[in-house]
Chains A and B, each alone.
Chain A
Amino acid sequence: DGGITQSPKYLFRKEGQNVTLSCEQNLNHDAMYWYRQDPGQGLRLIYYSQIVNDFQKGDIAEGYSVSREKKESFPLTVTSAQKNPTAFYLCASRSKGNTGELFFGEGSRLTVL
């Protein structure tokens, strides 16, 4: 089945460690996005990429990094510079066109111990 796969589903990290969240899609979508979800704050955009080898910062990019070497993959690294990394992270993708519809993965919950 086509879709977006995020892994791991749960991740625990010690302070000062970098962690990488995986996002893979087989929908043949050009654009991919990373959102962070915190209770009562909706979804906030971290990074997005509209084509391979290109990406842009979203509203809360500080402390995060991404790469887009393949159309199917858009990994997110949460670095030690991110002061409050405990959150639910959602990856999404969108096909070309102006519908704006995003397809989301099932998310990765990161907890910093």
Chain B
Amino acid sequence: NAGVTQTPKFQVLKTGQSMTLQCAQDMNHEYMSWYRQDPGMGLRLIHYSVGAGITDQGEVPNGYNVSRSTTEDFPLRLLSAAPSQTSVYFCASRGSTEAFFGQGTRLTVV
């Protein structure tokens, strides 16, 4: 069982570049979300989706876009990378209770 597949695992960007973090799940979950994890801050919700075609902002949405065209996929786009977006990003998919996370993307913006 693949669960949640998140790519890439590592990425280095220059300030101002854009990129898309990919997330796919094979559990037919309606709810998917993106978090960033920074030292001393814990996981903070960036954007989430409760189903195909439905997305909404979390705690720290600025600088990020999402879309949900299918149940399986929930990509996260960085529009114009900034050093403050250096972080570890996790995609999560959730059924009735347990959240399943992807392996994470370590992003460095220089």
Q: Bound pair: A and B?
A: no
Query: What residues of chain B have their CB less than 8 Å away from a CB belonging to chain A?
Result: none
